Amino acid sequence: MSSSTRFKLASVIAGVGALSVLGAGAATAEKPVPNSAKVPGTSCTVGQVGKALAKADPESWNSLKSHPQRMEHWRQTVVLTPQGRKAREAKWARQHPNEAGVVNFFKANGLLLEIDPLAGTSDNPQRRAYVKARVKRTCGKF
């Protein structure tokens, strides 16, 4: 399976998972995340990280901006610690066991990347690492 096909397949599955998480989030009436909220692992705010991601990976940022639900999901995710993201993922998996089984299958077979809101959406691990490092390094400039 080509890298492009794997990425498309992973994007579809991730989209299904994200929509399910969004649906669960909407049911619990999560409050919108303000631009001034701090991002764990950085000394920056959500607004600064957003601007740094837009500069480091315009394609990912434009994809987020063009889908309000995806943007809100990103905003809800970026303010969580890695442990908080794992806890939210575990809660989602308990609430959606069938979808979680599919996601676990894709993860186990290297077809789905772990969610990291600072790393952009590339399916290339080196690119994701570069984007994450650049966002963390430059977000304080915005």
Question: What was the pLDDT predicted at 20?
Answer: 47
Domain span at residue 23?
3-141
Which has the closest alpha carbon to 48: 39, 40, 57?
39
Number of domains within the chain? 1
The separation between CA 118 and the C-alpha centre of its own chain, rounded to angstroms, equals 8
Which has the closest alpha carbon to 76: 22, 114, 119?
22
Per residue in 3-47, pLDDT tens? Answer: 555 554 445 455 555 544 444 444 445 788 999 999 999 999 999
d(CA 110, CA 27): 31
Encode 106-134: b = buried (16+ Cβ within 10 Å), e = exposed.
Answer: beeeebbbebebbbbbbbeeeebebbbeb
How many CA atoms lie within 13 Å of 73's alpha carbon, on the beta-carbon side?
23
Per residue in 91-127, pLDDT tens? Answer: 999 999 999 999 889 888 878 766 667 777 677 788 8
